[in-house]
Chain A
Amino acid sequence: MDNILEVKNLKTYFNLTAGVARAVDDVSFAIKKGGSFGLVGESGCGKSVTALSMLRLIQPPGEIAGGEILFDGKNTLGMADEEMRLLRGDKMSMIFQEPMTSLNPVFNVGYQLTESMILHLGLNKKEARDRAIEMLTLVGIPAPERRVDDYPNQLSGGMRQRVMIAMALSCNPALLIADEPTTALDVTIEGQILELINDLKEKLGMAMLLITHDLGIIAENVDDVAVMYAGKIIEYSSVDNVLSCPKHPYTIGLLQSLPSLNSSDKKKKERLSTIKGVVPHLLNLPDGCRFKNRCSLRSAVCDEPPPYKNVGDNHFARCHKV
């Protein structure tokens, strides 16, 4: 077993009165033990729903309609609720985007940190408190003995995110899911947090699933990456392959629509190349290729569902034209 996680043909649908929204539609990927994997895409493409499906946190009207999620070889979708509860926060844990809304404002940091340790590690209150202080030290919070009694509103955004990380790591997870961990933070703090996550990942030997809309963060922090669009993975390979020689027109368009840093005067005068139009609504997806209405290479063949082609060197793209 060298994969800590394998997602096979995952389908997560939302049954709405207006129809079925296929938020995650036949998504497959694998994360190696100790490896780091990135999911990138624009808002609404299904990144976060994929993460929530992995933890089985999808609430009605949403449901996991099919597929397998193998964690360390065991299908989590077949587990009893109690078994899943023991896995969640223990071997598989998650950091959310907005640290203020994911921390409970009426409990102090120590209480929230020790909750999962008491549950999963069987520590008593005193031991759990000591470990909480140890975790806060690990994530670089100054004066942890005092901070452990603080409430979330007494901490800055960056510190709250550190607390979230401490909480996620407190039970030595084998897989950390980080859903836009730095999006709500300033750039100088973003640097600190990503460095911290990478350090700890190395130190504790855990695997990471990093979800973001920022291609720059992907470039620096993961080994393999999948690009999602309207519920489907449209490109999948090592980060080198995807960023240096992207194959799917959507990935190419995304990379080109970013202004480059330190560009020459001539380049600044030019227009940015854009992807025309907007992401289609999940209830009203076009037939065949979901990207065809925005694609410059569109032809009649795009009305058929595109094949998931292997273009060599473990590089896959879902497009008729590659």
Chain B
Amino acid sequence: MKKEILKIENISKRFTLKSRLYEKKATLTAVDDLTITLYEGETFGLVGESGCGKSTLAKLILRLIEPTSGNITYNGKDILTLGKKDMRSIRKDIQIIFQDPQASLNPRMTIGRAVSEGVSIHNSSIKTKTDLLAKTRELLKLVGLHPESLNMYPHEFSGGQRQRVGIARALSVEPRVIIADEPVSALDVSIQAQILNLLKELQEKFGLTYLFISHDLRVVEYLSDRVGVMYLGKMMELASSDDLYRQPRHPYSRALLSSVPSLTPGQKRKRIILKGDVPNPINPPNGCIFHTRCEFAKDECKETVPTLREVNDGHFSACLFSEELFGCN
């Protein structure tokens, strides 16, 4: 039986925007009524274009920003009601890796200090400096860096190596869940593969649960067990990675998947080119938020807001005409 580890229920985040004098205050719904359950040891991939609310969700889980409504439970514990101190111990269990390792490491701190900082705060079994040093060396080795590089500064490393430091830093407090927010997007292909392998290795070793956020569909498929597709703050489709990639059941996911270039030259794929831009989230369309760009949009789509519903075993889609368009099986 799969064990639930992190449960996100009906979470929403609305930002009120600064308004000019005499102007009505505008609200931006960054995350709209999202529900995701993470099971222990799995990788949940979250894909979507920029501005769809992926990173806002990551911040909500860590309570770096507070949600407008909804619940988040970690191991059965409601974390939204926790005080600062209790939340600290939860943050030890849920760690994050950021996209840009250059911006997320302090340039004036040696990587040894950056990695050992969390250990000295959260790990009570490590008391002496020698222990701390040994632990830091061990962590650096774990992520494939030279253990003696701990006196070096971030600028002395390449992008891929800096991302390894970011991973070592996240691992330093022995987390259960790691939120990886576009961890390989800033890296070159040959380095990207190294980091993806490292993430997989660490997951097997420590039984980690990943929430893997990316806009790169190839990478998400490679790493994820289940995948959710977001658009303008909403979940459009959620399914096992196999089902989603083999038979997407939402027009948006289909268009996204068709936009991944094939590597076989000459083989012109049938690319579904979406019209127009992503709508302004301050003023989203009525009805189905995707109807302005959908090739199948009907009158009903302009009025009825579709809910995310199970259209096949474990396969959820937020399209009114999912069965009609993409079959039952």
Residues of A near any B CB (own CB < 8 A)? 42-43, 156, 158-159, 186-192, 195, 213-217, 219-220, 239-240, 243-244, 253-255, 257-263, 265, 268, 271-276, 278-279
Residue of B nearest to A44 (CB): B188
* CB contact under 8 A between A216 and B263, given known A42-B188, A189-B277, A265-B242: yes
Cβ-defined contact, B190 with A257, below 8 A: yes
The 5 A-B residue pairs with the shortest CB-CB distance, nearest first, are A216-B261, A259-B222, A257-B193, A186-B49, A42-B188
- If A263-B221, A274-B190 touch, whether A156 touches B277 (CB-CB below 8 Å) is yes
Chain A residues contacting B188 (CB-CB under 8 Å) are: 42-43, 213, 279
Verify if B189 is at the interface (C-beta below 8 Å from A): yes
Determine if A186 and B50 form an interchain contact, defined as CB atoms under 8 angstroms apart: yes
| Given A195-B273, A257-B192, A278-B191, also A187-B264 (CB < 8 A) | no
Give the interface segment out of B87-95, B113-121, B211-219: B211-219
In the complex the two chains form, is B273's CB within 8 Å of A261's CB?
no
Q: Which of A188, A262, A274 contacts B193 (CB 8 A)?
A: A274
A187 touches B49 (CB 8 A): yes
Interface stretch among B12-20, B194-202, B309-317? B194-202
Q: How far is the CA of A156 from the CA of B49 in the complex (A)?
A: 14
B278 interfacial by beta-carbon distance below 8 Å: yes
Contact of B197 among A43, A191, A244, A272 (CB under 8 A): A272
Candidate in A156, A159, A258 with the most chain B CB atoms within 10 angstroms: A258
Given contacts A188-B256, A188-B259, is CB(A243)–CB(B264) below 8 Å? yes
Number of A-B contacts (CB under 8 A): 121
Given A188-B255, A190-B259, also A239-B265 (CB < 8 A): yes
B3 at the interface (CB under 8 A from A): no
Contacts of B278 in A (CB 8 A): 156, 186, 188
Q: How far is the CA of A42 from the CA of B192 in the complex (A)?
A: 11
Q: Residue B194 contacts which of A186, A217, A254, A274 (CB distance < 8 angstroms)?
A: A274
Given contacts A214-B261, A240-B265, A263-B221, contact A257 B245 (CB under 8 A): no
Residues of A within 8 A of B189 (CB): 42, 213, 215, 254, 257-258
Interface residue ranges of B160-211 to A (CB < 8 Å): 160-161, 188-194, 196-197, 200-201
In the assembled complex, which residues on chain B have CB atoms less than 8 Å from the CB atom of A278? Answer: 158, 160-161, 191
Chain B window 43-55, contacts with chain A (Cβ cutoff 8 Å), 1 for yes, 0 for no: 0000001100000
Bound complex: CA A262 to CA B245 (Å): 6
B146 within 8 A of A: no
Pairs across A and B, CB under 8 Å, 22 listed? A188-B255, A214-B261, A215-B189, A215-B263, A216-B260, A219-B265, A220-B262, A220-B265, A220-B269, A244-B264, A257-B189, A258-B189, A258-B218, A259-B193, A261-B260, A261-B262, A262-B246, A271-B200, A272-B222, A274-B190, A278-B160, A278-B161
Expressed in whole angstroms, the Cα–Cα distance for A244 and B264 within the complex equals 7
Q: Is the beta-carbon distance between B215 and A259 smaller than 8 angstroms?
A: no
Contact of A275 among B161, B190, B260 (CB under 8 A): B190
Whether B193 contacts A243 by the Cβ 8 Å rule is no
- Tell me the bound Cα distance from A156 to B188 in angstroms: 26
- Hey, which chain B residues are within 8 Å of A195, CB to CB? 271, 273
Which residues of chain B (228-261) have a CB below 8 Å from chain A?
A: 242, 245-246, 255-257, 259-261
- Using a CB–CB cutoff of 8 Å, the interface residues on chain B facing chain A are 49-50, 158, 160-161, 188-194, 196-197, 200-201, 215, 217-219, 221-222, 242, 245-246, 255-257, 259-266, 268-269, 271, 273-274, 277-278, 293
Bound-state Cα–Cα, A276 to B190, Å: 8
Bound Cα distance from A99 to B265, whole angstroms: 28
B263, A187: Cβ atoms closer than 8 Å: no
CB distance from A219 to the nearest CB of B (A): 5
Given contacts A187-B49, A278-B160, contact A259 B221 (CB under 8 A): yes
Closest-CB distance, B183 to chain A (whole angstroms): 14
Contacts of B269 in A (CB 8 A): 220
15 additional A-B residue pairs with CB within 8 Å, beyond A261-B262, A272-B197: A156-B278, A186-B50, A188-B273, A188-B274, A192-B273, A215-B263, A219-B262, A243-B265, A254-B189, A255-B263, A257-B190, A257-B192, A260-B218, A268-B221, A271-B197
Contacts of B277 in A (CB 8 A): 156, 158-159, 189
- Taken together as a complex, chains A and B put the C-alpha atoms of A213 and B191 apart, in Å, by 13
Are B263 and A274 in touch, CB under 8 angstroms? no
* Bound CA–CA A192/B255 (angstroms): 12
Chain A residues in 8 Å Cβ range of B218: 258-261
Once bound together, how far apart are the Cα atoms of A159 and B221, in whole Å? Answer: 30
Docked CA distance A46–B56 (Å)? 36
Contacts of A261 in B (CB 8 A): 217-218, 221, 245, 257, 260, 262
